[in-house]
Amino acid sequence: MRHLLGIEHMSRDEIERVLETSEAMLEISQREIKRVPTLRGRTVINVFLESSTRTRVSFEIAAKRLSADAINVTRAGSSLSKAETLADMARNLAAMSADVLVVRDSVAGVPHMLAERVRVPVVNAGDGCHEHPTQALLDAFTLRQSLGSLEGRVVAIVGDISHSRVARSDIYCFTKLGAEVRVAGPPTMMPAGIEALGVKPYFSMEEALPGADVIVMLRIQQERLAGALFPSVREYARTFGLNARTLALAKPDAIVLHPGPINRGVEIASDIADAEPSRILDQVTNGVAVRMAVLYLLTGGGT
């Protein structure tokens, strides 16, 4: 791997290599001394031009557990909005001998654009409504912990499919690993032609959930939804929220993922988020391991 820009162009082998490497990385976080010397002397720069706590901290911890130096750049106080300016900033960071650039931006394609302009490996930490590859990898890792394999499993992704980079990356990742993926949400949140990605759209929980091994609940992104795509939060919670009633539609041992941060009482009821079927905190734990694996594999410079 030269860069990690999206799951779309990864092979199944590449995905599995990341997941297998993550197994070893997970053990490191369980030690009393949570650090290995592997990336000693390397510099990872996290360029987060869109707000984030979990992903930014996760990348920072991942870099530090591998003994790399981690530096965070945020948008605050700067006027970075034009693509050229961004490219220049990335060139400057590369000129300071950065070994990896981790990039998050609210505009799709920014990490790809930077990857073409700098000679440093670039990791996409979420670009607009396009992809969020490390989230999909940690989701797949979490599912394999519980289910062993995704082969033949039924995964329902529920929420705002149109605006979700997590949904897109999950769809690519889970289908490549052999799962049957369903997407569900109101018609206003369902992109036309989603079937082209190898998934089937559903417009109610009652249709989407029966037989599901896994339910991925997406966050309702109030900050991205300028116009109203659904009549009210309460109605959304009633029709597409996960609660005891809708969870019961899926397989009895179905497990629940959510990329966070959760809107309690909107897309997911509190008692479900905190209960047995939820793997939400495992996802956060595993996120560090998966990002360690990605940083390790990308700094090799090989394929």
Contact residue for another protein among 174, 230, 240, 296 (CB under 8 A): 296
Backbone angles phi, psi at 205, to 5 degrees: -65, -35
The string of DSSP letters for 123-184 reads EEEEETTTB-HHHHHHHHHHHHHHHS--TT-EEEEES-STT-HHHHHHHHHHHHTT-EEEEE
Q: Which is nearer to another protein, 42 or 112 (CB)?
A: 42
Per CB under 8 A, 234 contacts another protein: no
Residue with tokens 């092979």: 11
Per CB under 8 A, 29 contacts another protein: no
State the minimum distance, in angstroms, from the CB of residue 303 to another protein. 6
> Taking contact as CB under 8 A, which single stretch among the options 4-12, 192-200, 228-236, 294-302 is the one that binds another protein?
294-302
State the minimum distance, in angstroms, from the CB of residue 301 to another protein. 4
Per CB under 8 A, 38 contacts another protein: yes
Per CB under 8 A, 300 contacts another protein: yes
Site for another protein in 44-103 (CB under 8 A): 66
HSE-up (13 A, CA, CB side) for residue 144? 21
Contact residue for another protein among 28, 71, 190, 233 (CB under 8 A): 28
Count other C-beta atoms under 10 Å from residue 91's C-beta. 14
- What is the rounded distance in angstroms from the CA atom of residue 301 to the CA atom of residue 126? 22
Per CB under 8 A, 12 contacts another protein: no
Report helix, strand or coil for 264.
strand
Contact residue for another protein among 35, 234, 238, 264 (CB under 8 A): 35
Smallest Cα–Cα separation from 186: which of 203, 200, 169? 203
Backbone angles phi, psi at 154, to 5 degrees: -105, 120
Binding footprint of another protein, residue count (CB under 8 A): 26
Question: Which residues in this chain contact another protein in the complex, by CB under 8 A?
Answer: 17, 20-21, 23-28, 31-33, 35-38, 40-41, 66, 296-297, 299-303
